[in-house]
Structure 1
Amino acid sequence: MRDFLPADKARRERVLSVIRERYRAHGFDEIETPVVEEYARLHAGIGGDNEKLAFNILRRGLDAEAIRAAAEDPAALTDLGLRYDLTVPLARFYATHRAELPTVFRSIQIAPVWRAERPQKGRYRQFVQCDIDIIGDETARAEAELIVASLDTLAALELEGASVRINDRRALDAMLDAFGFAVDERPGVLITIDKLDKIGPAGVAAELRERGATAAAVDAFEAFLTRPQTREYLPFGEAQIRKALPEGVGAEVIAHLVGIGEAVAAARAEIDPPLVFDPFLVRGMGYYTGTIFELAHPSVSYSLGGGGRYDGMIGRFLGQDVPAVGFSIGFERIVDLVALADAGAAPAVVLVHDRDVPVAELVALKAALVAEGSRVRLERRTKNLKALLARAEADGYTAFASVAAGATREAPELKPPG
C-alpha cells in the first residue's frame, strides 16, 4: 500500500477525470458501494484465486475462548471482508436496487480494492480499478459498447493503437471437449493453457502430461497447436475465428463474436476493427460464462485491462439469472504510461511574502486572486528561495510573486518559478 505526494496525486486525478468523462460520454452512470462486503459473499466460490487473497475482518465482541474455539474456521472468526474486486459488490448492488434501476443498467465504478498480495514489484495490496458494466443486455451490443468505450478512453489518454484480444469461455469448453479432456480436469488444463505464450506448445503439452491429463486429449491438443498453418492476414471475423478453432465449436458462439466485431467496426467507422481472436485467452475469474477480453497496447507486453460476461453471478443473489458483462481498465498499469498535461488547470500562483507583511493583507490578496480563478499558496520567504520555488513547481505551481507590506492586488508581478 502506498502514499502519494501532491504531484503524483494530481497526475492520478487528471487521468481519473479523463476516464470518468469518457465513460460518462458513452452513457454510463457512476455508483458507489461500501469497501466491505459480507464474508459469505466474498467467499462464494466465484472470485477464483482472489478469494484466497481477501482481507477478512474479525467479528466484533469475540473473547479469547470464542477465538480459540473457532480458530480452524475462518467463517466463524470473520463476518466481513474488504472487497477484492468491484464485480462482486456490483452484483450485490444490482440485486438490492434492481427496482430503482433501468432495464439495461450501465454502471461506472472507480474505487480502490484490496488483495493480500505478496510484496513484489508491480503488485500492490491496495489499488484502483476502473470498471464499466452493462447489466440486462444479452446481445453483442453490450460487449461492443464496452469495447468501444474502453478504446475511446485509451485514445483520450493519448494511448493510441490499443487493441482487444477476445475469446469466449464457451468456445474454450467446446475446444477442450473436441480434444477429449474430461470435465473434471478442465480447470487445471485451463491453468496450463493460460501459460501458452510463456512456455510454448511443447511446454504446455509437457505440463499437461505432468498433471496427468487424458493422454489422448493432450496428444490431440499438441497436434492442433503444431499443425501447419498458412500465414495470410485475416481481419477479425468468421474466417479468422474458424481458422483458429478445431471443428465442433457451436455456430452460435461464433456468430456472437462476429456480431461484436461488426458492431465495433461500425462504431469506429473502420473496416477492420482492432480486435484479435485468441482461442487460448483464458482469464482466471471463475464467474465468466461467455465472452472474455483483454486490452493490449504495443508499448507494453502485459495487458492494460480486461473483462468478460458473467451471466450467472447476479442470479446467486437475486434468484433469477440476469445477463451481465464488464470491462475493467487497470488504472495502476496505465497511469504510469500517461503523460497528460494539465491543460485546463487554473493559474497556480505562489505568493512569497516577507515576515513583516500583516496577515490581513496576505489573506485579502490571496482571496482576490482566488476570486479571479487562480490557485494560490502563501509561502514565507526563506533563505533558499530557489528550493522553495522548485518544490512549488513540482506541486504544479506555474508562477510566483514577491509580496511586501502594503502590497495591493495590482502590485505583485508574476514570474515563472524556474
Structure 2
Amino acid sequence: MRDFLPAEKARRERVLSVIRQRYRAHGFDEIETPVMEEYSRLHAGIGGDNEKLAYNVLKRGLDADAIRAAADDPSGLADLGLRYDLTVPLARFYASHRAELPAVFRAIQVAPVWRAERPQKGRYRQFMQADIDIMGDASPRAEAELIVATLDAVDALGLEGATVRINDRRALDWMLDSFGFTSDERPGVLITIDKLDKIGPDGVIRELRERGATPAAVDEFYGFLHRPPLPEYDPYGERPIRSVLPDGAPDDVVADLVAIGDAVSAARSDDARIPLVFDPFLVRGMGYYTGTIFELAHPSVEYSLGGGGRYDGMIGRFLGQDVPAVGFSLGFERIVDLVTDSDRATERSIVLVHDRDVPLDELIALKASLTGGGARVRLEQRPKNLKALLERAASDGYMSFATVAPGAAVDALEFKPLA
C-alpha cells in the first residue's frame, strides 16, 4: 500500500479523468459499491485464487473462547471482507438493483481493491481498477462495445497501437475435449497451458506429463502444438481463427468471434490495422468466465495492460436467475506508469511569490481573480532560497510563477515559466 505525493496524485487523477470521460462517451454510467462485501460472497468459489488473497474482517464481539472455537473455520471468525476485485461487487449490485436499471446496463467502476499479495514490483496490496461491464446483452455486440471503448480510452491516453488478444472458453473446453483430457483434469491442464508463453511448447508438454494428465491426450496436444503452420494472410476472421484450431471447431463460437472482429474493425475504420489477435491458448485464470475472454496488449511492454471476459453465470448466484454479463478491466497501475504528462502543458497553474509586506486582502483578491479565470494558483511567501521553492513548485506540477509587490494588479503581473 502506498502514499502518493501531490504531483503523482494529480497525474493519477488526470489519467482517471481521461478514462472516465471516454467510457462515458460510449454510453457507460458510473456506479459505486462499498469497499466491503459479505464473506460468503467473496468466498463463493467464483473468485479463483483471489479468494485466497482476500482481507477478511473479524466479527464484532468475539471473545477469546469464541475465537478459539472458530479457529479452524474462517467463516466463523469473519463475516465481511475487503473486495479483491470489482466484478463480484457488481454482480451483487445488479442483483440488488435490477428493477431500477435498464434492460441492458452499461456500468463504469473506478475504485481501489485489496489483495494480500506478496509485495514486489508491480504487485500491490491496494491498487486501483477501472472496469466497464455490460449486463443483459448475450450478443457479441457487448464484447465489441467493450473492446472499442477500451481501445478508445487507451488511445486517448497516448498509447496508440494497442491490440486485444481474444479467445473463448467454450473453444478452449472443446479443444481439450477433442484432445481427450477429462473434465476433472481440465483446471490443472488450463493452468499449465497458461504458461505457454513463458515455458514454451516443450515445457508445457513436460509439465502436463509430470501432472499425470491423460497420456494419449498429451500426445494429441503435442502433435497439435508441433503441426506445421498454415499460410494465412488475413489478420483476423473466420479463416485465420479456424486455421489455428483443431478441425471441427464449433460454428457458433467461431461465428461470435468473427462478429466481434467485424464490429470492432468497422468502428475503427480509420485504422488500417485490425486491433484483434485470436489466441487459442489465452486462458485467463478467473473461474467465472463462460465465453469470450480477452487481454489488452501494447507493443511497449511484454505484460498485459488489462483483460476481461464473459461471466454469464455469476449474477445468477445472487439473483437466482441467470443474466448475461461481460466486462473489461484496465490495469490502471500499469497504464499510469506508461502515460506521459503531456497534458500538463495545457494547464494554467501559477505560483504567486509575494513579499511579507503585501496586504492579505490584495493577495486573496489576486488569487480569486486568477482562479476565477480557470487557473490553479498557489500563494508562497518569498523565502531566502527562492530557487528551491520554485523547483519544488515545478515538481508539484505548477507551470509558471509571478512575483507580487504591494498594490500589484493582475494585468501587471509578469508570468515566467518554471521549467
Question: In the alignment, what sits opposite 1:397?
Answer: 398
Distance 1:341 1:32 in 2: 30
Question: In the alignment, what sits opposite 1:121?
Answer: 121
Distance 1:271 1:367 in 2: 49
Q: Which amino acid aligns with 1:338?
A: V
Distance 2:119 2:344 in 1: 36
Cα deviation, 1:334-380, whole Å, max 9, x if unaligned, reads 11111142358552111111123332332222222222322111111
SS at match of 2:80: strand
Question: In the alignment, what sits opposite 2:334?
Answer: 333
Question: In the alignment, what sits opposite 2:311?
Answer: 310
Distance 1:361 1:164 in 2: 56
Q: Which amino acid aligns with 2:76?
A: A
Cα deviation, 1:293-334, whole Å, max 9, x if unaligned, reads 001111110111110000000000000100000011111111
- The answer as to whether partners of 1:401 and 1:413 remain within 8 angstroms in 2 is yes
Distance 1:408 1:264 in 2: 55
What stretches of structure 1 of length at least 5 have no aligned partner? Answer: none
Q: How far is 1:231 from its partner?
A: 4.1
Question: In the alignment, what sits opposite 1:20?
Answer: 20
Question: In the alignment, what sits opposite 1:247?
Answer: 247
Map 1:131-280 to 2 at 5 A. Answer: 131-269=131-269, 273-280=274-281
- The answer as to whether partners of 1:307 and 1:326 remain within 8 angstroms in 2 is yes
Distance 2:400 2:20 in 1: 29
Question: In the alignment, what sits opposite 1:348?
Answer: 349
Q: Which amino acid aligns with 1:308?
A: G
Question: In the alignment, what sits opposite 1:76?
Answer: 76
SS at match of 1:349: strand
Distance 1:41 1:57 in 2: 13
- The answer as to whether partners of 1:174 and 1:248 remain within 8 angstroms in 2 is no
Q: RMSD in angstroms over aligned alpha carbons?
A: 1.4
Question: In the alignment, what sits opposite 1:291?
Answer: 292
Distance 1:295 1:187 in 2: 23
- The answer as to whether partners of 1:178 and 1:248 remain within 8 angstroms in 2 is no
Cα deviation, 1:188-239, whole Å, max 9, x if unaligned, reads 0000000011111111011001000001000110111011123443321111
Distance 2:168 2:373 in 1: 55
- The answer as to whether partners of 2:344 and 2:397 remain within 8 angstroms in 1 is no
Change (3 A) 1:65 1:379: same
Distance 2:153 2:413 in 1: 41
SS at match of 2:184: helix
What stretches of structure 2 of length at least 5 have no aligned partner? Answer: none
Q: How far is 1:402 from its partner?
A: 1.6
Q: Which amino acid aligns with 1:227?
A: R
SS at match of 1:113: strand
Distance 1:120 1:343 in 2: 30
Q: Which amino acid aligns with 2:308?
A: G
Distance 2:305 2:252 in 1: 29
Q: How far is 1:257 from its partner?
A: 0.8
Change (3 A) 1:358 1:38: same
Range 35-44 or range 231-240, more displaced: 231-240
Distance 1:371 1:231 in 2: 63
Q: How far is 1:417 from its partner?
A: 2.6
- The answer as to whether partners of 1:352 and 1:402 remain within 8 angstroms in 2 is yes
Q: Normalization by structure 2: what TM-score? A: 0.97
- The answer as to whether partners of 1:106 and 1:132 remain within 8 angstroms in 2 is yes
Map 1:24-103 to 2 at 5 A. Answer: 24-103=24-103
Distance 1:344 1:16 in 2: 18
Range 27-36 or range 396-405, more displaced: 396-405
Q: How far is 1:251 from its partner?
A: 1.0
Range 1-10 or range 346-355, more displaced: 346-355
Q: How far is 1:19 from its partner?
A: 0.6
Change (3 A) 1:388 1:344: closer
Distance 1:369 1:272 in 2: 46
Cα deviation, 1:270-306, whole Å, max 9, x if unaligned, reads 6762111111000000100000000111111011111
Q: How far is 1:240 from its partner?
A: 0.9
Distance 1:315 1:208 in 2: 34
- The answer as to whether partners of 2:230 and 2:243 remain within 8 angstroms in 1 is no
Cα deviation, 1:123-148, whole Å, max 9, x if unaligned, reads 11111111010000000100011111
Q: How far is 1:405 from its partner?
A: 3.1
Change (3 A) 1:271 1:178: farther
SS at match of 1:336: helix
Q: Which amino acid aligns with 1:332?
A: E
SS at match of 2:242: helix
